[in-house]
Amino acid sequence: MIKEFTEKIKSREIDVVQHTRKVLNEIKTLNKEYNYFNTISEELALEQAEKLRSNPKGRLAGVPISVKDCIVVKGVESTAGSRILKGYNPVFNATAVARCIDEGAIIIGKTSQDEFGFGGFSTNVGLDYKVPLNPFDKERATGGSSGGSGGISQKASFPHVSLGESTGGSIVNPASFCGVFGLCPTYGRVSRYGLMDYANSLDKIGPMSKSIEDAALVLEIISGSTSRESTSLNKPVENYSSFAGKGVKGMKIGVIKDAFAEGLDDAVRKKVWDGIKKLESEGAKYEEVSLPLTIKYGLSVYYIIATSEASTNLAKYCGMRYGKHEKLEGSFNEYFTKVRSKHFGKEAKRRIILGTFARMAGFRDAYYIKAMKVRTRIINEYKSLFKKYDLLVSPTVAILPPRFDEINKLSLLQNYMVDTLTVGPNLAGLPHLNVPVGFEKKGGKQLPVGMMLIGDHLQEAKLIQAGSVFGR
Amino acid sequence: MKGVKVDRNLILRVADNAKLSLTDKEIDEFLPQLKEVLEFFSSIDEVDTKGIEPSTQPVEIRNVLREDVVKPSLSQDDALANTEHKKDGYFKGPRAV
């Protein structure tokens, strides 16, 4: 879709300024109803379009790109969905954003999310923010935390890719609930420079789109190391988009049987199995495999590590250098405490408390260090399966997109459990892809079901091959 | 870690370390929630990790070093562009002592 579109931009068959205006009008109207954007960057988008009109070039010439609010865009308010960063205007672009702009992309806005990524439904938005609504049923959640990115990717009538971000499943989960492709790459494949950290040993930036080929093209553009970010991997970047349509003949697929256990919605089970059979009919072979340690302990390990890292990463938000400020009075302790207590939302406070506890003297070895040791065993569990299989498969989320009244009734632990199937590949830094595999009718609405494919480190190309079996 | 007493005092201590002042309402809400999730997290106690190294990153990352030479970076104006509290080219902070 993007390839044909950029040709029309370059041949001037489509006027990039007119097209951008049309896109801005569409997303403004959509936003009133669905809350997919925290900020629409109209001025920047039109400025980029004007510049491109005189010299249309790049692999993303004129393509509207939306960006999760936690990824910084120069001159556009970027808050990670938190009131504590209200008013923050970054003075630089994240590497992923800069690389898209260099290829002619038009940045249309910052998408809504759980505050700092703290959620699986996008209902934990920061104070004063609006919750995004599922594109298929406004009484249901988009999934999270990249909920705005998932919603706009589904609703956009124009060629579009969103830059999402995942710490424990925040790309594939909303992609599943919104019925789009979401590709979370290997840890370090895409530079985190300019990404506001949630948990820096887990955070990854990745594309979400209705088209797997378009998502692959954007991944190919944003991947690669930078000297500005020491955990970005210095490994060659493949032409990911060229793998769309290559098929799965001869691929060996491991079906994670522990993920099909009790608690899985019957409709999800059926549609995911239909997806597996489809891969088989295209020439892949599958066997059932087991990840007992990952499925049983992954969630605990994830929440201990993620909240520990989050509690240190969020220490910098204290009303000094950016975002919300208060009148300077009292000691630094009193001032920082005042700013933080007033402007962090409830879930941010809870996760700071959990993470600070897990790192405190007396508890650190039993929680934080122990969790990192169990993570090593989880990584080993996956690695031993990848000696034999090209890809692993499971449902992305065990349930259909829930209604908001259902989410409100969940306990905190039940709320965290929505991440059960997605934390594994995130803990192990493995690339994973949500593939929309069908719809289930519920309450008169068609709700999407997602299947998750997991690859070995740096095997994004295989995910794209398998994903494109389900439409490019 | 079985046997940890999660009570009001512990939460207040943790909150103080984290520079958060919680209202009574927040503490009443958080206390049973934290008890529930911490008990759940404690299940990792039973995993055998003898001789296992902690993984601070999911993939192997080597030290990345560069020459110790000055390069252009964030200008002073840019660094101060987002603060409301500045004076003479510096951040102005709250009283330290």
Tens of pLDDT along chain A (472 residues) come to 899 999 999 999 999 999 999 999 999 999 999 999 999 999 999 999 999 999 999 999 999 999 999 999 999 999 999 999 999 999 999 999 999 999 999 999 999 999 999 999 999 999 999 999 999 999 999 999 999 999 999 999 999 999 999 999 999 999 999 999 999 999 999 999 999 999 999 999 999 999 999 999 999 999 999 988 999 999 999 999 999 999 999 999 999 999 999 889 999 999 999 999 999 999 999 999 999 999 999 999 999 999 999 999 999 999 999 999 999 999 999 999 999 999 999 999 999 999 999 999 889 999 999 999 999 999 999 999 999 999 999 999 999 999 999 999 999 999 999 999 999 999 999 999 999 999 999 989 999 999 999 999 999 999 999 999 998 7
Separation of alpha carbons A162 and A253, rounded Å: 28
Helix/strand/coil for B37: helix
Q: Please report, as a single letter, which amino acid is at residue A361.
A: A
Other CB atoms within a 10 A radius of the CB of residue B51 amount to 6
Separation of alpha carbons B86 and B7, rounded Å: 41
Instruction: Chain A: give the shortest CA distance to residue B95, in Å.
Output: 5
Contact: B30, A201; criterion CB under 8 Å: no
Domain spans of chain B, in order of start? 8-46
Q: What is the pLDDT of residue B64?
A: 80
Question: Are β-strands A106-111 and A133-134 bridged in parallel, bridged antiparallel, or unpaired?
Answer: unpaired
Q: What is the pLDDT of residue B63?
A: 81
**Residue position matching structure tokens 């406004």:** A138
Separation of alpha carbons B54 and A342, rounded Å: 36
Q: For the residues B36-62, what does the mean pLDDT come to? A: 93
**Residue position matching structure tokens 């009244």:** A405
Separation of alpha carbons A26 and A75, rounded Å: 22
* CA-based torsion, A184, A186, A191, A195: positive or negative: positive
Give the pLDDT band (50/70/90) at residue B13.
very high
Q: What is the pLDDT of residue B66?
A: 82
Number of domains in chain A: 1
Catalytic residue, chosen from A112, A153, A170, A209, is A170
| A145 tagged catalytic | yes
Q: What is the pLDDT of residue B1?
A: 56
| Buried b or exposed e, range A49-62, using 16+ CB within 10 angstroms | beebbeebebbbbb
Residues of B in contact with A379 (CB under 8 A): 55, 58
A131: which DSSP letter? Answer: P
Helix/strand/coil for A354: helix
Q: What is the pLDDT of residue A55?
A: 94
pTM score of the predicted model: 0.98
Give the pLDDT band (50/70/90) at residue B3.
low
| A68 tagged catalytic | yes
Site from B14, B35, B67, B86 to mutate, A interface, most A CB atoms within 10 angstroms: B14
Instruction: Chain B: give the shortest CA distance to residue A384, in Å.
Output: 15
Would an 8 Å CB–CB cutoff place A76 in contact with chain B?
Answer: no
Say which of B47, B61, B93 has its CB closest to residue A320: B93
Would an 8 Å CB–CB cutoff place A382 in contact with chain B?
Answer: no
Would an 8 Å CB–CB cutoff place A227 in contact with chain B?
Answer: yes
Say which of A301, A367, A428 has its CB closest to residue B1: A367
Give the pLDDT band (50/70/90) at residue B2.
low
Q: What is the pLDDT of residue A384?
A: 98
What is the ipTM score, two decimals?
0.96
CATH at A330: 3.90.1300.10
Other CB atoms within a 10 A radius of the CB of residue B41 amount to 25
Q: What is the pLDDT of residue B97?
A: 76
Do the beta carbons of residue A128 and residue A342 sit within 8 Å?
Answer: no
Domain of A224, in residue numbers:
1-472
Instruction: Chain B: give the shortest CA distance to residue A317, in Å.
Output: 11
